[in-house]
Each structure stands twice: as structure tokens, then as C-alpha cells.
Structure 1
Amino acid sequence: MRNLTFVDVCSGAGGLALGLEQAGFEPRLLLDDDDLAVTTLRTNRPHWNVLRTDLLEFDPAEHPVSHDVDLLAAGLPRVRSSATTRRVDTGIEERLLEATVYLVHAIRPRAVLIENVPELAHSDLHRGFRDFVHAELDHLGYEFSWFVVKAVDFGVPQSRRHGVLVAVGREWSAAFRQPAGPTREPMTVGAALGSSMAARGWPDAARWAAQADRPAPTLVGGSKNRGGADLGPTRAKQKWATMGVNAHTVGDTVPGPDFVWDPALGRDNMVKLTVEQAALLQGFPATWQVSGRKTARYRQVGHATPPPVGKALGQAVAEALESDSAIFAAG
């Protein structure tokens, strides 16, 4: 049986691509317009074909390797999740969504996977995009599944939800099933990071891990227009504080043997998570290297699709494309 192939756009730190690789897919082309993200991808997977380019300027005719693939995947920059979101709205996120859909016309993959905010799958705010997808792709022979998955259901120690579009060619669409997470207790922050917190001999690591007894709030990468890295909005910071974590910044290293952990004394006596620990909370392997300085590295991690989510989605698509109906269609 041949390896399934994919093109990944707006690849970032490689979370979605890594998950698809773990699901048995082979990348033909990955692209991103950020120098550091491209360096991250090339550092971890020197054999991947990574192109530094803006999706809005990408011409697939100049890259025929992108044609005739099984899957077009896109973990795109997040669109607004509500009409009251406070940010400068340039519309770039929506244009990237549309560009991905237009790209389907050019490369004609057997399936399309778009991952974004959960509201993309059901909110009236994004009904126009869902209608646009149907208008553009229905006549090309795709059937659509819009749904939401929870990262915690796939072993990610984080309360993160993802809105997903999977469009599959009609000859395979009946075989597609949304991925369902295993029935097990959620991974907690303490279980995920306890060993790393003890790496420099901090004696309170186990006590801290026992208090960090739940999944993390959703990590937020933030914007390049903001200041330094932190772990999210006010409500998320408050949740982190209940686990004895100072979420107003990202640390340079894990606590040493002399660190006094006493959250009652304020932020200075709370632990700070490192970029490497944030990557573990996203489900990246400890060996995954993220390029750049601390804030830029954290943003890459925070914006990434957790690889275990990418793997689960990839497996669901692969099962449909490799089903009996796919074999019949190929024959």
C-alpha cells in the first residue's frame, strides 16, 4: 500500500504536519511565510520540502509537486471567535481561509483538512465562509464534514477545542468518520510536566505536580504586534494561578534546587513555564526544536495545531481514503 501524500499550507512550527506524518502521510510540500517557522521545519525534518512563501502569493503551477496529492491540510491563523473580539481586524485570516479553498481548484486533492477556531464549524459569525466553501467545492465533487474536536480527548494536557472542516471526494465520503478520542482520564499539567520541573533538582516538583491536577487552559500564541510572551488572557491566567503558575510571562529555565514555591506570596513565588514545557503541553515531542528567541518561539508553539490532534484527524482521513470504496474508485 502506497504512502498517502499531503501539502500543508501555513505550516508554522509543524504541529499539523508532524501529526499527519505520524498518521502515515508523506509531505510533498510545506509552506510558510515566516523565516523562523521555516527554520524550525527544516531543522527538525531536513528531508521535508519546505518553501518560504506567502500563501496569498503561492502559484501551484510553479510547483507541480503539489499536484495530485491525497490531502491538502491547513492549520491557519485563527479567525475571530466572536464579534466582540478585541483586535485590529485586517481580514488576513479570512483571506487565508479563502486562498486555501481556491487552492483546491488548482491541486485537486482527494481530501481537504482545515483546522481553526471551534466557532468556524458552527457559529453564525462564520456562516458566510461555510457557504463559500460549499459554493466553491460542491461542484468539484466534495462532501463536507464540519465538527469540533477537543485536544484533551487525544492525550493533549490542555482544554483546547478545534473547529475542523474535512472535505472528502464523494467516492470516499461515506467512509469518513469523525475521530473519537479514547475513553480515559485527561492528561494533567502535573503529569505532563512533573519530570521537567524536577530536571534541575527542584525538591517541590512533585508537590507542585500534585496541585497541577487538571488540563491546562488553551495556550495562546498572541500577535507579533503584542509585547512579550504570556500564557493567555486574564481568565486563563487566573486558572494558571490556581496551579501555582505565573502565567504573565514565560520562563527561561525550570526551577533550581533553591526556588521557594509559595503561591500565597505572589507571582514571584510561582513557577514559570518554559517554551519547551509549553511545547510538551501542545503534544510536541521533547526532541522538537523551535527556532528563534523566546517570544518568537513561544508564539510558534502557541499557534500550532497539537500533533496528537493532527494525527487523529489524519488517521480519520486515511481510513476513508483507504477504505473499500477508495479501492473500488481507484480500480
Structure 2
Amino acid sequence: MAYKSLELFAGAGGLALGLEQAGFEHIGLIEFDKYAAETLRYNRPTWNVLCEDVEVVANRDLEKEFDVKKGELDLLSGGAPCQSFSYAGKRLGLEDIRGTMFYHYATFLMKLQPKMFLFENVKGLLTHDGGKTYETILNIFEDEGYKTVYKVLNAWDYGVAQKRERLITVGIRNDLSNKISYSFPQKHKYKPVLRDVLQDVPNSECAKYSKSKEAIFALVPPSGYWKHIDPVIAKEYMKKCWDMGGGRTGILRRLSYDEPSLTVLTTPQMKQTERCHPEENRPFSIRENARIQSFPDEWEFKGNISAKYKQIGNAVPCNLAKEIGISIISKLKEVEENMYDLDFISQENFEKHVANTIKEYKDVLKSIDITKFNRNIIDPIKLLFDKNVFRTSFEEIIDIELHRQRDKSNNNSIGYFHQNIFKYINNCTVPKQGWDVIVKIPNEPIIYVEMKNKHNTMNSSSAQKTYLQMQNQILHSPNDICYLVEVISKCSRNISWGCSVNHNHLEDERIRKVSIDKFYEIVTGDKDAFCKLCMQLPKTIEKLISNSNDLSVQQDTVVDGLKNINPDMLKALYLLAFNTYEGFNSLG
């Protein structure tokens, strides 16, 4: 199953690609920068990329724009640029931050109410404006109905050859937060270094240093910086920075193949944050930076060289995004699994009842021999037509007939399931004889139930008999109600049941025809109770059957028995069905 996501401030696609690799399907990506949007469209022509101002998009009907209903989107992702807010000594709400980039992110959250959101940003957001900015952001997430967790993650811990820290905030909608709790992905034991990712890198554009800077970098060893060269040369290069104090380890910094990269930046030639190639006297190339950011080689970046460096430097590393995406999907799966928890019957009783129903199948699984096969006398002429019309063999037609006979017997087992489950539901009893179910809800009329698997299983005589039984019940107990509950009904309904008895049409509001979903709603108070049961049922059946060793269909002997009658299968069928008819004895 693909989980639906929508991304704001998508950039060149690092976060989006990682989430796609984790299993998300993007229904939309919004990116204002034309080169970044072109990159997205080129690499994923099927993605719905909007190269627009996020504020403009936020003001539209988002459900219509992205063809998703409020509450159904699985994930909203992205990271708004950091901006200060005007406080005036109060806790701010959404309207107080109108006009900021985060306001637009929060607007999407408010309008679409996704199940979860992923908000990524720089580590510095934690301390921005004395921590007030992030505090306001968390408060607004809470106001919009989300429980949040946050953590600073280092990409190096998640398969990225780069020390790059990002503040990751994950939110779970309040109605789901009591079902799941989010945990950030576990750190990888193995941490890659540049040597691991810079093998056989494709040729690409690369920024250059001036000749004088190249000459100075030639003096710097791997893992070294300005302190590792002649102080006179370093002082001349650093100029005013020499007297500023501090480590300033970013100046004249050459990386080593045996260490991870420092944070990949948007411009490769800034003096304060230089990252020189481990062996050559140059910055990293476009494709080298992309490798360090864990982009695949086939992911192409559009625009001029400056635009490409900027796109790569702004991106969330794909491998980090993938790990976060996998952890989020695991929680969305838990939401699905817990969505259909049954609160009207204990898990123990539900499993017990399903197990008892499975036991009802055991007789059906027994081997069928030729005597049992012909108990109701099969029709060989029908089987002959079936064989030829469906262009198959007698063996296959007989196998279908065996399945039909078993299926007919199964109806009793399914009737057992639908009726006897009410033994375990509050206010319900299942008498040994008489009514199928009796419901006694405090301060409510008693309900007497006759249950049918299908709406068309009652002939006229049976319907009259059942109706008269119900009529007799309400005549003796005027406050009671009688239900004919249909498991397979024409539609969901709770209507008065009119019936023709001795050519007279009888109808009483206290005698009703009720579909099984409506009956469950009446009994449990939950309109989705029957749906939840149906969604929980396959998992429970699978669990019980996988733990059982005696639920296999035994080998049938019908075909062998027919061959013993006559090697010609058609003659054998004729002799089985028509052995007392005139003329058929000669076939033997």
C-alpha cells in the first residue's frame, strides 16, 4: 500500500525522494524556486509539482486542489524557513503569525488535518530568538490538534557520509495519538566516510579556487586547516580573521577520505566554511556533493552551477529522509491495525468464538467418497453441459461440484458465527431454542431476533411463519420489539417489515427488518461496529489457522470411485445417477 504525502518547500527533492523510497506516494510538491522545481519535474515527470508561492496555494481549496479529503492525507512534510514572531508578552496562535512561512505550513495542517506531519529544520531553530520561535511553533501544532515529539538527528547516524544535524519534529493527530506513539529511528551501527561514497563518481561541473588559494590549499594535509600550515601564510590569507580569536576551523579546511564530510553548504567557496577535496586542490564537484547528500547518480539538477550547489546544499539527505519515512510508515500501519479494535467484545472471547466457528468446518474438510458425493443424486447431464460449455475436464467439473457441496454445508457454520457471537456481547443472550438472539438493554424495550444469512433465504411460507411468531410476541408483550436481522441485506436499513399472511398485508412498526450493521449499532452503540468486526476478522482467522495442524482438506476419492465404476467418466456418472433407469445397465 502506498501512503499519501504532500510536501511544502520541496527544494530539489532530497526529503521527497527519501520518503518515496520509504513507501510514500506524493500527491503534490510545492517549490517556489524555478530551478529546484525544474529538477523535481525532470527526475519525476509523474509528480504533481507546483512552482508557486506557498501562500497562494495555501489560500485555495486544498481538498479540491490535491483531491484528498480532510483527515485522509497520511503525511504533510517540509520545513519552513525560520522567522521571528512578534510576541507582545502572550502565547501566540495561528492568526498572530500570519505572513510568515510557518503560517502557511500551519494553514495546510489546519485545512487538511493529515494523520501525521514531518517538520524539518535547522538545529538552530531550537535556540532561535531565545527558544521563543520554536516554542510558538510547538504551541501552534498543539492548537491544531497534534501531539508532537522532536529530536536533533545527525545524518551520519543514518547512512550518510556527512555530519549534518537537522531538527526533526513529528506530529500525530490527537485522535490517533492514543493508539500509537512515535519513536525516532535507531542509529545505524556502521557510519560511512567519504571513501565509501566517493568511488567512481561521474564527471560533473565543479567550482574552482583562485590560483593563489589553490597554492595555499596544496600545503594543507587531509583533516587539516589553517593551523597546519606556516603561520605567516595563514595570517596573510586570513587577514582580519587572524585577530578574531576562536578556532575558526572552517578556514582552509581540507577533508579526509577517512572521515565524514562536514555539512554540505549552498556555496562551496566561502572562506569561513571551506571544504576542500581530500586529494585535489578544489571544492567538491556537483556530483560529489550529491553523493555526500546520498542522492543517486541518476538524480539530475537543473539550472546554472550556483543553482545546483544551492539545491544540493539545502536538501535533506535522502538516506536520512528514508529512515524517518520508514519509521513514520510503521506508525501509520499501526494506526490501520488499531483502527478496527473491537471494544464491544474482548479479544479473548472474539478469538474463542472464531476458533469455535473454525471447528464447525472440520466435518466439511473430511474426505468425500462416491457415496457421499451422490447422496442427493448428482445430475450427470448438467455436468456434461458444464464440461463442454466451460471447455474443461470431468475431473475439474467434479472438483467444482465437491466445492459446491462443501460450500452448501458451510452455510450452517457461518450461521453459527453470526448468531453465537452475541453470547459475548453485553445485554445479549443466545437461547438454546426459540429466538436466535434476545437483547435486553436497560430501560429499553426487549428485542427478539430471528436471524437470516441472506435476504432471499425465506420463502413465502417461512416468512409467514416467522412474522406470525413475531406478531404473537408483541401481542403478549406490547413493549417488546421483534427484528428480522439480515446478514446479507439489500442495503443498510432498519425498516418496518410488512408481510402478506393469508392474502392480508400485515405491518407493525414493532416488527422490523434490520440489516446486520444496524443491529450491531443498536446493540453496541457504535455505528461502525460491524465494519470493525469484519476488518478484524481476517487477521484473527489467519492467526488461529496458522497455529492449527488439523485444518487441511483431506483427499477426496470421488474420481477414483467413478473410475472403478467405468473408465469412461461420462458412463460412470450415468451409471452412478441412472443405475435403476431402463437401458443404462448395458453401459457397464
Query: Are the structure 2 counterparts of residues 144 and 285 from structure 1 closer, same or farther at C-alpha, using a change threshold of 3 Å?
Result: same
Given the alignment of the two structures, is residue 160 of structure 1 paired with residue 171 of structure 2, yes or no? Answer: no
Percent identity, aligned pairs only, is 26
Matches within 5 A, 1:105-120: 105-120=110-125
Are the structure 2 counterparts of residues 50 and 66 from structure 1 closer, same or farther at C-alpha, using a change threshold of 3 Å?
Answer: farther
* Alignment deviations for residues 7-63 of structure 1 (CA, whole Å, 9 cap, x no partner): 001111001100110110100111111111111111101111111111122134051
* One-letter amino acid matched to 1:163: L
Q: CA deviation at 1:243?
A: 3.0
Whether contact under 8 Å (1:149, 1:164) holds in the other structure is yes
1:294 aligns with 2:329: no
Displacement of 1:219: 1.0
Deviation at 1:128, TM superposition (A): 2.7
* Contact 1:75–1:305 under 8 Å retained in 2: no
1:230 aligned to which of 245, 268, 273:
268
Write the distance in 2 (CA, Å) between the matches of 1:154 and 1:211. 20
CA distance in 2, matches of 1:32, 1:70: 20
Residue 65 (structure 1) aligned to one of 61, 64, 67: 67
1:240-273 superposed Cα distances (whole Å, 9 cap, x missing partner): 34834xxxxxxxxxxxxxxxx5xxxxxxxx1432
Change in Cα spacing, 1:64 to 1:192, as seen in structure 2 (3 Å) is closer
Matching residue of 1:32: 31
Q: By how many angstroms is 1:75 displaced?
A: 3.3
TM-score normalised over the length of structure 1 = 0.75
Judging changes above 3 Å, is the alpha-carbon distance between structure 1 residues 66 and 17 closer, same or farther for their aligned structure 2 residues? farther
1:187 matched residue in structure 2:
192
CA distance in 1, matches of 2:193, 2:304: 28
Indicate which of 132, 149, 158 corresponds to 1:145. 149
Q: Which residue of 1 aligns with 2:489?
A: none
| Higher mean C-alpha deviation, range 122-131 or range 187-196 | 122-131
Per the alignment, do residues 16 and 79 of structure 1 end up closer, same or farther by CA in structure 2, a change over 3 Å counting?
A: farther
Report deviation, 1:170.
Answer: 3.1
TM-score, normalised with respect to structure 2:
0.43
Measured in 2, the distance between the counterparts of 1:177 and 1:127 equals 23
3-state DSSP of counterpart to 1:20: helix
Cross-structure match for 1:102: 107
Unaligned runs of 5+ in 1: 81-91, 200-207, 222-228, 245-260, 262-269
Question: What is the count of residue pairs matched by the alignment?
Answer: 274
Distance 2:164 2:271 in 1: 14
Q: Is the 8 A contact 2:80 2:101 kept in 1?
A: yes
Query: Is the 8 Å Cα contact of residues 75 and 304 (structure 1) preserved in structure 2?
Result: no
Q: Is the 1:156–1:282 Cα contact (8 Å) retained in structure 2?
A: yes
8 Å Cα contact 1:219-1:231 kept in structure 2: no
Deviation at 1:317, TM superposition (A): 1.2
* Distance change >3 Å, CA 241–CA 137, structure 1 → 2: closer
C-alpha distance in 2 between matches for 1:148 and 1:71: 20
Q: 2:259 aligns with which of 191, 201, 214?
A: 214
* Residue equivalent to 1:52: 51
Structure with bigger gyration radius:
2
- Counterparts of 1:34 and 1:66, CA distance in 2: 25
Q: Separation in 1 of the partners of 2:186 and 2:19?
A: 16
How far apart, in 2, do the equivalents of 1:172 and 1:277 lie?
42
Inter-partner Cα distance in structure 2 for 1:241 and 1:300: 19
1:310 pairs with one of 314, 321, 326: 321
> Deviation string for 1:140-163 (max 9, x for gaps)?
431110111010011111110000
Rate the CA distance shift 1:220–1:124 in 2: closer, same or farther, 3 A.
closer
The CA distance in 1 between the partners of 2:109 and 2:300, in whole Å, is 31
Pair 141,154 (structure 1): closer, same or farther in 2 beyond 3 Å: same
